[in-house]
Amino acid sequence: MPGAGVNAPLEFTSTYIADGPVNYARVGNPTWSAFEEALGGLEGGDALVFSSGMAAVSAALSLVPLGGAVVVPSHAYNGTTSLLDQLAATGAAVVRRVDPTDQDAVRTALDGAALLWIESPTNPMLEVSDIPALVAMARECGALTVCDNTFATPLVQQPLADGVDVVLHSVTKYLSGHSDVILGALVTPSTDAGRELHARLSTARLLGGAIAGPMETWLALRGLRTLHVRLERATGNARELAARLEGHPAVTRTRYPGFGAIIAIEVEGGPDAAERVATATTLWTHATSLGGVESQIERRRRYPAEPETVPEALLRLSVGIEDVEDLWRDLDRALTGR
Ligand SMILES: *Cc1c(COP(=O)(O)O)cnc(C)c1O
């Protein structure tokens, strides 16, 4: 429209003048709609923004009937597994942990299950699932599927196209991309069944109250505009660094799925040596989280909630968009203790 701003409106209001389409801002906000339209377009469905990735996880788990069984990767994001443990402790859900790459184990675990939780690649072990195969198994058992697509982003994989029922994002990570907001989202397919799920999840947001702030949503929308450029650069950097790390004498194992910008390495000398590397870098930020323009490094087992099957000396590297030679110099120096 001539004269209109080129950006979506940032609307701060708690309520609206009566008799319009939305009557109160816990129901909707124009800034949410702009973000949801953009993310829905990328994932090929209808999006709902939440106040955090975990708020989106909570809403997605509200689809599980009381006492229902949830099949989840052993190395899923530890906030997700901790929440599932809490639900299990009160009898609200039954939790079955599996290696998602072991399809026989998944098939067995799915017997009578209400929900299959997919996270691919997993955090931080970077296991990659065959999403269409898992969806087919879940369908056979009548289980819903949720796919946490935070690591891959819709530019790498679009799980709705593989038949997944609900896609989840910690928008905090790649989608906003600048380490300045906490936000989450769910996306459902634009089918009759998808629209029904969308309505249930929208009600979970409305009544659970975990709604996104307009400012955070606006920042996420701004970040989303450069997702493809950031991810292309970060992925190029990650490919190069993963190849060099493979041959590094201080690195005993490199995990890189071949796409995306997260690498996991194990270093010589155990957890203390790994901590020393994480704190010795200067360009890489020693911090939790990932998906920002700046590179981040962290030893995941510093968290008691991290499963014991994650190696003690594993460092998760979230590769940013800096100059790859600068990143390598800093990492190599930290690894060799120079
Ligand atoms: C960070 C993260 C979450 C949780 O999101 P928040 O925005 O921190 O609440 C969920 N899943 C994955 C894979 C994550 O990395």
Please report which confidence band the pLDDT of residue 71 belongs to, taking 50, 70 and 90 as the band edges: very high
Same domain? For 165 and 285 the reply is: no
- Determine the pLDDT at residue 305: 85
On the question of pLDDT at 310 being above 80, the answer is yes
* Closest by CA position to 115, among listed 88, 133, 130, 135: 135
pTM of this structure: 0.97
Cα–Cα distance measured from residue 232 to residue 238, given in angstroms and rounded to the nearest whole number: 10
- Span 107-130, average pLDDT: 97
In tens, the pLDDT along 260-287 reads 999 999 999 999 999 999 999 999 999 9
5 lies in some domain: no
In tens, the pLDDT along 124-143 reads 999 999 999 999 999 999 99
7 lies in some domain: no
Domain boundary among 190, 224, 258: 224
CA of 173 to the centre of ligand 1 (A): 8
Minimal-distance CA residue to ligand 1 atom 8: 53
Domain boundary among 177, 195, 224: 224
- Span 67-90, average pLDDT: 97
Residue 79 Cβ inside 6 Å of ligand 1? The answer reads yes
Residue 210 Cβ inside 6 Å of ligand 1? The answer reads no
Same domain? For 190 and 250 the reply is: no
CATH code, 266: 3.90.1150.10
Same domain? For 210 and 248 the reply is: no
DSSP 143-171: -EEEEE-TTT-TTT--GGGGT-SEEEEET
On the question of pLDDT at 154 being above 90, the answer is yes
Same domain? For 35 and 100 the reply is: yes
Same domain? For 197 and 141 the reply is: yes
Pocket test for ligand 1, best of 49, 54, 300 (most atoms within 8 A of CB): 54
Cβ-contact 295, 318 below 8 angstroms? yes
- Span 283-302, average pLDDT: 96
Minimal-distance CA residue to ligand 1 atom 4: 53
24 lies in some domain: no
- Span 92-109, average pLDDT: 98
Cα–Cα distance measured from residue 77 to residue 124, given in angstroms and rounded to the nearest whole number: 8
- Span 283-305, average pLDDT: 95
242 lies in some domain: yes
* Closest by CA position to 52, among listed 200, 165, 205: 205
Helical (H) or strand (E) element with 298: strand 296-299
Same domain? For 317 and 180 the reply is: no
On the question of pLDDT at 338 being above 80, the answer is no
* Closest by CA position to 297, among listed 231, 246, 238: 238
On the question of pLDDT at 328 being above 90, the answer is yes
- Span 160-182, average pLDDT: 98
233 lies in some domain: yes
On the question of pLDDT at 327 being above 80, the answer is yes
CA of 145 to the centre of ligand 1 (A): 18
Same domain? For 194 and 286 the reply is: no
Q: How many domains is the chain built from?
A: 2
Pocket test for ligand 1, best of 173, 175, 176, 298 (most atoms within 8 A of CB): 173
- Span 293-299, average pLDDT: 98
Please report which confidence band the pLDDT of residue 1 belongs to, taking 50, 70 and 90 as the band edges: confident
CATH code, 159: 3.40.640.10
CA of 297 to the centre of ligand 1 (A): 16
Residue 52 Cβ inside 6 Å of ligand 1? The answer reads yes
Same domain? For 133 and 255 the reply is: no
Domain boundary among 196, 224, 252: 224
In tens, the pLDDT along 186-202 reads 999 999 999 999 999 99
Same domain? For 196 and 48 the reply is: yes
- Determine the pLDDT at residue 87: 98
308 lies in some domain: yes
Q: Produce one character per residue of 43-58: b if its CB has 16 or more CB atoms within 10 Å, e if not.
A: bebbbbbbbbbbbbbb
Same domain? For 182 and 248 the reply is: no
CA of 107 to the centre of ligand 1 (A): 26
Same domain? For 76 and 166 the reply is: yes
19 lies in some domain: no
- Determine the pLDDT at residue 324: 98
CA of 248 to the centre of ligand 1 (A): 30
323 lies in some domain: yes
* Closest by CA position to 225, among listed 38, 41, 43: 38
Please report which confidence band the pLDDT of residue 33 belongs to, taking 50, 70 and 90 as the band edges: very high
Residue 214 Cβ inside 6 Å of ligand 1? The answer reads no
Residue 173 Cβ inside 6 Å of ligand 1? The answer reads yes
**Active site members:** 26, 77, 148, 173
Domain that holds residue 259: 227-336
- Span 45-67, average pLDDT: 98
- Determine the pLDDT at residue 337: 87
Same domain? For 258 and 276 the reply is: yes
Minimal-distance CA residue to ligand 1 atom 2: 170
On the question of pLDDT at 40 being above 80, the answer is yes
